């Protein structure tokens, strides 16, 4: 993950168009498969939504966990309407969300575990664990992951999506994301999904533009569905990660 903080983020927002050209040129030079994928997809199109506050972003992420988009969107709109019935763009404050009765959240459509997660999110926003965007910007990616995964129900993948889609961090590779792994499988001609560790190792060649690489791997899935994905180059890459034998495995070998 990138350790670049405020400067990299501000540059990403202010110079996105010329930077996009530099990104695709860099990735194409670093990886011939990525070059073919870029040619098939076109310009880099990830546009961060910088105005979304971390508290609201994480509340939305909790809402959408394990639900299809339509159902989650309905529940999220109900949450907003419970506090701001006339302003769908507004959002409750952490204090308001902490004070609302759990039964009301259940009636809106939240499960018991998600109610607990929302309450913990609100409490950690009030105590400063979940800060505003201005406080997050100077922090490096790993520090943000460590800080925000302290919230109940928020895992690394959720924070990685926030780093990419809200903060515009350029060097995030969400190796646990199914779409990224499947896009790699399709673009590189693998028979099986790459293991996260193997993908992370392979992806070091894309640094410091791994966010763009992830975006193009998502697009590879779209191209495959449309029948427009370029044929994989041969031979397919061999993904190698140093094997670590467990004590049990070593014992079986000795036997």
Residues with catalytic annotation?
177
Alpha-carbon span 40 to 219, nearest angstrom = 9
Burial of 208 (0-12, 13-18, 19+ CB in 10 A): middle
Q: Please, are residues 115 and 102 in contact by the beta-carbon 8 Å criterion?
A: yes
Give the end-to-end CA distance of the chain in Å, rounded to a whole number.
41
Alpha-carbon span 120 to 113, nearest angstrom = 11
Mention every residue, 6+ apart, whose C-beta is less than 8 A from residue 184.
190, 193, 194, 199, 202, 217, 220
Token pair, residue 94, equals: 């952490």
Name the region of 153 (left: φ>0; alpha: ψ -120 to 50; beta: rest).
left
Alpha-carbon span 224 to 110, nearest angstrom = 35
Alpha-carbon span 226 to 151, nearest angstrom = 39
Q: Please, are residues 9 and 167 in contact by the beta-carbon 8 Å criterion?
A: yes
């Amino acid at each position: 993950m990138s350790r670049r903080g405020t400067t990299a983020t501000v540059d990403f927002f202010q110079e996105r168009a010329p930077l996009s050209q530099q990104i695709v040129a860099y990735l194409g030079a670093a990886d011939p498969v990525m070059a073919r994928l870029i040619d098939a997809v076109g310009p880099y199109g990830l546009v961060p939504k910088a105005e979304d506050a971390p508290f609201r972003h994480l509340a939305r992420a909790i809402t959408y966990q394990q639900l299809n988009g339509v159902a989650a969107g309905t529940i999220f709109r109900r949450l907003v309407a419970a506090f701001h019935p006339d302003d769908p763009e507004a959002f409750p404050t952490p204090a308001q969300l902490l004070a609302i009765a759990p039964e009301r959240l259940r009636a809106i459509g939240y499960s018991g575990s998600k109610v607990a997660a929302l309450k913990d999110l609100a409490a950690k926003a009030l105590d400063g664990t979940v800060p505003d965007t201005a406080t997050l910007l100077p922090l490096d990616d790993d520090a943000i992951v460590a800080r925000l995964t302290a919230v109940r129900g928020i895992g690394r993948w959720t924070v990685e999506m926030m780093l990419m889609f809200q903060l515009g961090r350029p060097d995030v590779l969400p190796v646990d994301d199914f779409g990224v792994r499947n896009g790699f499988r399709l673009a590189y001609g693998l028979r099986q999904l790459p293991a996260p560790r193997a993908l992370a190792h392979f992806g070091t060649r894309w640094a410091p533009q791994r966010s763009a690489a992830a975006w193009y791997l998502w697009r590879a899935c779209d191209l495959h569905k449309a029948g427009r994905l370029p044929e994989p180059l041969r031979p397919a890459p061999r993904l190698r990660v140093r094997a670590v034998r467990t004590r049990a495995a070593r014992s079986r070998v000795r036997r």
